[in-house]
Chain A
Amino acid sequence: MRRAATAALLAFFISIPLWVANLYVLHVLIVTGIFTIAAMSLNLLLGYTGQLSLGHVAFFGIGAYVSSLASLGFSVHLAPDWLVTLGPQPVWLAMLWAIAISGFCGWAIGRISFKVRGAYFVIVTISFAEVVRLVALNWDELTNGPMALNNIPPLTVSIPGLIEFSFIGKVANYYLVLAAAIVAYVVIARLVHSQAGRAMIALKENEPLAMSVGIEVTRYLVLSAVVSAAIAGMAGALYAQYIQIVDPNIFLFIYTVTMVIMVVVGGKGTLAGPIVGGLIFGLLPEGLRSLQIQPELQWVAYGVMMILIVSIVPRGIVPALAHVWNDRVRAKAGPAEASEAGARQAAQ
């Protein structure tokens, strides 16, 4: 049942470019997909480990800048007479660097801020994102500042003598983002269904009890931050090579807020939640725009929808749907069987 639904959903996403000819629609889907990956990464930290990172866009932006800089090459003075130069790297290598360095930043932020959790972690992550934005804005020599990094090359896969393929155009990028989303999903799913993921969930549920059975708090909080930041960095790198221009506005707070909304509305702590939330809030602004009403009213409608969803299903859309589904299963099956089946589903 579950397997069949997953296969059907995958087939649907794979088939989209076959029947959607409108390139603008594909563009919207690609950007939505990239932000959905970022939301999935945030969900690992927020939904499973229970830590709110309000600077999550920092990891996304770092991923974008690292992959852009590595693929364009740069030379920068780290001291007046110390010039560091890096020639242009292949884009796939640049993207791996982006993932690694974002992950490292997640590790550093985790080490520093998980000693003080809760509100302090939120503040540290906000400050981190703001500091990174200011660095990107002011370190002209490296980042071009507000002039942005331009002409970022697209991802090219080449096996010498066999194939050489560049992800140029909407269709190719659509499949690239879809593949990346599947990888991110599988990584997160494997993690949360393992010993490490259960340790993270245990820390969210009951930290003193988790410690009493031998779970090392910092280790698993940091692991969660590293994986989360690395996946966000991958999303950022995909964004950079697709849009081909990166400026400091990528670090704007509103992007973090969008990711949080996607996770919370979809259902934090569920694998499908950020995907549902990501699709809704990625596509909604475009859907409202097509209604051809005034822009102010579009945003009012956006806000009203958000408030409505959050007040009707405070725990998110996916948990609410799961609940409805369980009730139906219970109604169909015999009473004894049903309570068991329902509880089993609820537990998942």
Chain B
Amino acid sequence: MNGNSAAALSVDRLSIRFGGVTAVESMTFEVKEGEVLSLIGPNGAGKTSAFNAITGYLPAAAGEVVYRGTRLNGLKPSRIAALGVVRTFQKTSVFAGCSVLDNIRIGLHLQSRQHPLAIILGWPSVAREERRLFEKAREVLQFVGIESRRDDVASSLAYGELRLLEVAVALAAQPTLLLLDEPVAGMNSTETTDFMKMLGRIRALGVTVLLVEHDMKMVMRASDRVVCLNQGRIIADGPPAEIQRHPDVIRAYLGERHARAEG
């Protein structure tokens, strides 16, 4: 695997504006190869905006996003996905009308090249590809642990399963950097624990993870490093234990009085 200290993703003085409102102001941080980095901060701190700008869903007003030497600014989301940067969404987002299996097969889109003419003419290579995709889809479902729901329509899944399916769709795209936007929001503690286990397995695959999450227990347990945002600016960057004690972080979350009491 890659060296521990090499930066996979570097975000350099990134600013995002909506009309006159600045959502993110000159944000700079790096995600190292193989680490789990959490982006935390109060609501409206600009976490999801940063996610959207990194993955091409929002234009950056200024600054640069570079992944493994490739500048991501201005690229389409589909192109960024092809470079190995794949995200999930804050609001549960699956292909609701498709079966679980088809959700994964859609996620596997980049793993197969079927020429439209070959498809229409029914060439055997297409059938071969389809069998291969089916096997791969089963592997992904096994990995996430929802193989028993393979043939069910996605919209019939329970909430916890839906959130697993979302991650499974993203994993099918074979990311080298996975961006998870509040993956355990709304989950009960058992579901969260299961999710943590899966996150461990994802790490073991060598996938770098950038996590946005409000569940502090999960953030502290899962991350190697935490970056805290407030009002569009980075106020702290360090290992979880340090961030927990950081006065600016406490101030951002709990207010001035708590910070003084702690400090």
Q: Is A212 an interface residue (CB 8 A)?
A: yes
Among B94-102, B191-199, B210-218, the stretch in contact with A: B94-102
Q: Is A347 an interface residue (CB 8 A)?
A: yes
Q: Is B256 an interface residue (CB 8 A)?
A: no
The bracket for how many chain B residues form the interface is 35 or more
**Residue contact A346 to B153, C-beta cutoff 8 Å:** yes
Collect the chain B residues with CB atoms within 8 Å of residue A216's CB: 76, 78
Q: Which residue of A lies closest to B171 (CB)?
A: A213
**Residue contact B102 to A347, C-beta cutoff 8 Å:** yes
Interface residues of B in 163-208 (CB under 8 A from A): 169-170, 172-173
Which of A211, A214, A346: most chain B Cβ within 10 A? A214
Number of interface residues of A (CB under 8 A): 33
Interface string of B72-97 (1 = CB under 8 A from A): 00001110011000111100011111
**Residue contact B152 to A343, C-beta cutoff 8 Å:** yes
In the complex, A170 Cα to B72 Cα: how many Å?
A: 61
**Residue contact A198 to B152, C-beta cutoff 8 Å:** no
Collect the chain B residues with CB atoms within 8 Å of residue A198's CB: 98, 102, 105-106, 109
Q: Is A313 an interface residue (CB 8 A)?
A: no
- B161 → chain A, closest Cβ, in Å? 13
Q: Is A318 an interface residue (CB 8 A)?
A: no
In the complex, A206 Cα to B92 Cα: how many Å?
A: 11
- B130 → chain A, closest Cβ, in Å? 7
Instruction: State which of A195, A206, A217, A223 has its C-beta within 8 Å of the C-beta of B78.
Output: A217
In the complex, A299 Cα to B153 Cα: how many Å?
A: 40
Q: Is A6 an interface residue (CB 8 A)?
A: no
- B121 → chain A, closest Cβ, in Å? 8
Instruction: State which of A206, A213, A223, A340 has its C-beta within 8 Å of the C-beta of B173.
Output: A213
Q: Is A201 an interface residue (CB 8 A)?
A: yes
Interface residues of A in 174-228 (CB under 8 A from B): 186-187, 190-191, 193-199, 201-202, 205-206, 208-217, 223, 227
Q: List 18 A-B contacts (CB under 8 A).
A: A190-B126, A191-B116, A195-B114, A195-B129, A198-B109, A201-B98, A202-B98, A205-B96, A209-B93, A211-B81, A212-B81, A213-B172, A214-B78, A214-B82, A214-B110, A340-B151, A347-B151, A347-B153
Residues of A within 8 A of B (CB): 186-187, 190-191, 193-199, 201-202, 205-206, 208-217, 223, 227, 340, 343-344, 346-348
Residues of B within 8 A of A (CB): 55-57, 76-78, 81-82, 86-89, 93-102, 105-107, 109-110, 112-114, 116, 119-120, 122, 126, 129-130, 133, 151-153, 156, 169-170, 172-173
